[in-house]
Amino acid sequence: MTAQVGEIGAGPLARAASVVHWYLVVDVLMVLVAAPGLVVTALLAPAASNAPLVVLAALPVGPALAAGLYAWQVADTDRDLSPARHVARGLRRNTVDALRLWVPALAVLAVVAANVALNRSAGLPRALVGVSLLLALVVGLWLANATVIVARFSFRTRDTARLAAYSLFRHPGTALATASLLVVATGLLVLLGEWALLPTAGAFAWWLHRHSRALRADIEERFTA
């Protein structure tokens, strides 16, 4: 019996092709959504004083990541041959909620970036730089949790923010996996530039989705009817 249109065949080759197809489509669409920020970053001169602007240019990454996470959630339970449809739905469903969380978080990270940049030119204490970097890590972990929650649930923004903070302590394994992801992403940015992230956007979303299953299951059990 042949598979119906839109369904995935039962053979191993068909399943492997489906995984590759999903990855490529999710990756390309995430990059397209985040493209305005990438363009702004590319136009900025590589100067320490522009570090806060580079951080703020990452704003489109929020909706892109939320859409990618939503698509990978669908892939777990109802994978078909139309990943673009699920990315688009995730974008429509989650953009506003994602931006409500990413705007204040990036504002904090921009201040941190400004402090670190100022240290290089004004010689501020290294301890201040260390505290700033630690704050940036915590904000990044919190923001990742918040985006995972936005992609799966429909809570009020303040409730999402609280659950994201709660989950940092409730699920340290997820936080460790996210920290590893942030380290890899930062390394790619420093060594190869922002364009090195283009072929890895879908993989980053998949990694975050995979390692946040316990977080999502816990929230679903404790905080949803």
pLDDT digits (tens, 9 = 90+) for 75-104: 988 777 789 999 999 999 999 999 999 999
Residue 3 inside a domain? The answer is no
pTM: 0.89
User: Is residue 115 included in any domain, yes or no?
Assistant: yes
Look at the chain and report how many structural domains it folds into: 1
Which regions in the chain score pLDDT beneath 70?
Answer: 1-12, 14, 120-124, 225
pLDDT value for 3: 45
Residue 6 lies in a domain: no
Are the beta carbons of 63 and 95 closer than 8 angstroms? yes
In a domain, 141, yes or no: yes
Tell me if 5 is assigned to some domain.
no
Residue 144 lies in a domain: yes
Q: Is residue 100 part of a domain?
A: yes
Q: How far apart are CA 224 and CA 170, in angstroms?
A: 17
Domain that holds residue 101: 12-224
Domain for residue 99, yes or no?
yes
Contact (Cβ atoms closer than 8 angstroms) between residue 201 and residue 64:
yes
Q: Which residues contact 6 (CB under 8 A, 6 or more apart)?
A: 80, 81, 82
CA torsion through residues 136, 141, 145, 148, sign:
positive
